[in-house]
Amino acid sequence: MTGSAPTVQATAQPVATLTERTELPLARAINEGLRAAMAADEKVLLMGEDIGPLGGVFRVTDKLQADFGSARVLDTPLAEAGIVGHAIGLAMRGYRPVVEIQFEGFIFPAFNQIVTQLAKITNRHDGKVPMPIVIRVPYGGHIGAVEHHQESPEAYFAHTPGLRVVAPSTPNDAYWMIQQAIQSQDPVLFFEPKAKYWMKGEVDPTAAAAPLHGSRVARAGTDCTIVAFGAMVAAALEAAEVARAEGTSIEVVDLRSVSPVDYGPLLESVRKTGRLVVAQEASGNVSLGSELAAHVAEHAFYSLQAPVLRVSGYDVPFPPARLEGMFLPDADRILEAVDRTMHY
């Protein structure tokens, strides 16, 4: 990147951030996390299509341009490769850009910038050039849209060394993890389950945040483990509640980070229950679910009482909106897998 870095516009008045526990939708929790990060560090800039006065197509950046100015919340042309390329240049100049990709299917024009440049620059310079860039990616289905608007491409990026990939499932995690991602010296792909943008949950700004790349047990159980991340955590918890009524105790592990993966809680859970179902929206072939199943088979083989089962989207292009319910996994498909592993 050449030319002058943008001048940071002074905030007209103090910007309020959360100070006490409150219930927020997930999208608003991300908004508050962005607000807190921008208030704490004037080098944090937001970039994306229609993120200024409109606040983004999902309103995640609502009112941030009004509060922080157009030099820190930049509306960009419809050119994802250019957006990420400029973010790389800004990071080289000491800024912390946060890029919004409107829908996951639009990230591929920037794929070359992300995997061949962004992921490699720090290593290419022997660690002397950090790349503190966050790329926010609304992803996943259940919104009644078409291809390029409902897919789950996280495995492409989890496969690329040099990138960190995370996916919050709760408003509290969304609030904290977006701030932790912005503080990272490495590039972070921040996958947001857009079907859950309006799901409310408690956000606690006073409690210590969990580690960005730590997985957690979302529900304790003894008979079978379900591991999921992002939007599928809610489906896994729904399945666990139904199974409880049928006499099966399910433990749900929320991965939170898909690269790197914190395998400790997952392996501990499998060693306790002896059974594992992996749930993901992405197609199953060569997916993150495949990697999770392989890792557990390698490291907890003698604890398994049944083969690891995967519940995934089918290995076909994403269908028309009317058929999304057939393509996307839900609690019923998870429970069918639980039944199979319990009766193995």
Token pair belonging to 98: 């946060």
Specify whether 149 is catalytic: yes
Token pair belonging to 261: 């993966």
Which amino acid is present at 116? T
Kindly tell me the burial class for residue 216, based on how many C-beta atoms sit within 10 Å of its own C-beta (0-12, 13-18, 19 or more). Answer: middle
The three-point CA angle 92-94-96 to 5° equals: 95
**Cα–Cα distance for residue pair 343/137, rounded to 1 Å:** 38
Spot the catalytic one: 86, 142, 149, 213: 149
Catalytic residues: 149
